[in-house]
Structure 1
């Protein structure tokens, strides 16, 4: 696995943090303290607290408070205004969509019909703050980014092959490593000049473009997205399009939650979705630090 600015170690950190989040989910009603969390992670209290702060920028206690449904509902109400503002500012079509400043390219009708015939897709597996990820690129940009564990590698590669069934896949970690560095080297999750090349129906493309307008640290409901693409009754179809997003994190489907405040599902695991949302909120300063 490639080492990217220390992120190899941060991948290991994430595995421990994910285990701690699961423990909190299962034992939240008992309000587990730092000692219990540290024991579950196999670390001393001091090392666990330091690890969590280094990874998320906040204490475990603040992290758990963020993950409550009540907080999620409040964030949803606040974010709705932000989403409206993003649309009202004229952010439509390709280019300069949200804080990542990505260039969004949908596959042309001809490319859809050819299903990748004559195309070479290069891919590599790299560490990230949220575990290993597979990054795949065409000549026009990133066509796939998916999180995984070592046991999932074959499954994720099979998904990539199924999305572009007639393309030639080539392992090329030296090609994708610079992209991984750009995407994950900064602590605030921002990058510029990133190209995306995605394959989907017209409806899916509209939904994915809408996701790109949700600012970091904010969330939107499926109903919000449906309303913004002028299909208010198509909430179920929106949810389906969100679930089939091929580019994790860059097209931020993790920022879509249910209007009740429940997080809903996530293609790369609900625990990872919780980690992504809380980590982004911490980076954006939406969760205040605490010594507790």
Structure 2
């Protein structure tokens, strides 16, 4: 594998982690869903199950996704050998320190010692989005955290660097998923019901708010699934309601078993603008067919953003309802499924066998 770039696929990344290959320390991190912790590849800790792992090119992106740095291997302190990764990390730190005003590409380039053009190109290749898009995502993340903690909307938006409420509300439909006021009401004291079902692929959890389904998870044990639900929605009131959700659970099971090509169920999921674009593209892939991450990136007018597409697929909270299993590697290689590549392969096989 070329030292100047990260390993080419999630399978390559996983091999580096299994080998505890310190050569790539600082060039990517892996995060474990079951613990909420991210580590450097050479971390001496016990290796998790593959299906519990997500990969991030930068520690900052793992932290933004809600994972905590491992206190044993301290991945945030690893120095990248790849100059491009070093540039991206330095820009992420600069943007995290900004308040009201967003720095220009020229300002960022001067700070890290490269041209604006080179900075933009390197950052987008490593992170998958532009520096400005990353800065906006940071702001929205800060606001969501403030609102979950019960802060008033006005205080949250000014604390995150927005000069006026109108600027925040302009971005709400595409990136927030709801208005800030609605998010504030739902972040603390929101009621989420869930139900569990059994399938040939293991246990299935379906969770929903009063607006629609917010999570569909696959796993081996009920405790694992419910623990993940509580981690994803720490401020919500979560209750078990098998009867109320039985029809939705049955619909999800039909999809998993390949018995039905599509079910029309309401969703209540949060997404960035880019994630929403990727998810809409996934929903347009016909039943029984697949598209490569690279092809999806090209369809979105973002050639070269295959890794960012893969990350958007990994962030999908509703298995099979948003069919991220239909996104594959080059040549149809089955890789990178949040709930395990074996499950992904079986779902695809069933869809292809269904008349």
Category of TM-score, reference length = shorter chain: 0.5 to 0.7
CA contact (8 A) 2:194 2:242 kept: yes
Q: 1:254 aligns with which of 319, 325, 329?
A: 325
Q: Deviations over 1:115-145 (max 9, x none)?
A: 6323211001112343210000111111100
Rounded to whole Å, the distance in 1 between the matches of 2:317 and 2:268 is 10
Q: Deviations over 1:203-262 (max 9, x none)?
A: 212211111111110000101211222222322111111111101011111111111321
CA contact (8 A) 1:118 1:168 kept: yes
CA contact (8 A) 1:182 1:191 kept: no
Q: 2:178 aligns with which of 86, 108, 122?
A: 108
In structure 1, runs of 5+ residues without a counterpart are 1-104, 286-292
**Cα separation, partners in 2 of 1:269 and 1:202, compared to 1, 3 Å:** same
| Structure 2 residue matching 1:162: 3-state secondary structure | helix
How many aligned residue pairs are there? Answer: 178
Rounded to whole Å, the distance in 1 between the matches of 2:196 and 2:335 is 27
Q: Is residue 2:318 matched to residue 1:244?
A: no
Pick the structure with greater CA Rg: 2
Rounded to whole Å, the distance in 2 between the matches of 1:237 and 1:157 is 28
Rounded to whole Å, the distance in 2 between the matches of 1:205 and 1:260 is 25
Q: Is residue 2:133 matched to residue 1:133?
A: no
Give 1:58-207 correspondences, 5 Å limit: 107-110=177-180, 111-112=182-183, 116-150=187-221, 153-185=222-254, 188-207=259-278
Q: Deviations over 1:34-63 (max 9, x none)?
A: xxxxxxxxxxxxxxxxxxxxxxxxxxxxxx
Query: Could you say which residue in structure 1 is the equivalent of 2:349?
Result: 278
| Structure 2 residue matching 1:231: 3-state secondary structure | coil
Rounded to whole Å, the distance in 2 between the matches of 1:175 and 1:218 is 33
Root mean square deviation of aligned Cα = 2.3
Higher RCO by CA contacts (8 Å cutoff, separation 6 or greater): 1
Rounded to whole Å, the distance in 2 between the matches of 1:128 and 1:225 is 30
* More displaced 10-residue stretch of structure 1: 161-170 or 108-117: 108-117
Rounded to whole Å, the distance in 1 between the matches of 2:185 and 2:231 is 13
CA contact (8 A) 1:257 1:263 kept: yes
| Structure 1 residue matching 2:280: 3-state secondary structure | helix
CA contact (8 A) 2:261 2:287 kept: no
**TM-score, normalisation: structure 1:** 0.56
Rounded to whole Å, the distance in 1 between the matches of 2:237 and 2:249 is 21
**Cα separation, partners in 2 of 1:267 and 1:192, compared to 1, 3 Å:** closer
**By how many angstroms is 1:166 displaced?**
1.7
| Structure 1 residue matching 2:207: 3-state secondary structure | strand
Rounded to whole Å, the distance in 2 between the matches of 1:119 and 1:262 is 40
Query: Could you say which residue in structure 2 is the equivalent of 1:218?
Result: 289
**Cα separation, partners in 2 of 1:236 and 1:113, compared to 1, 3 Å:** farther
**By how many angstroms is 1:180 displaced?**
1.6
Rounded to whole Å, the distance in 1 between the matches of 2:295 and 2:184 is 32
**Cα separation, partners in 2 of 1:249 and 1:193, compared to 1, 3 Å:** closer
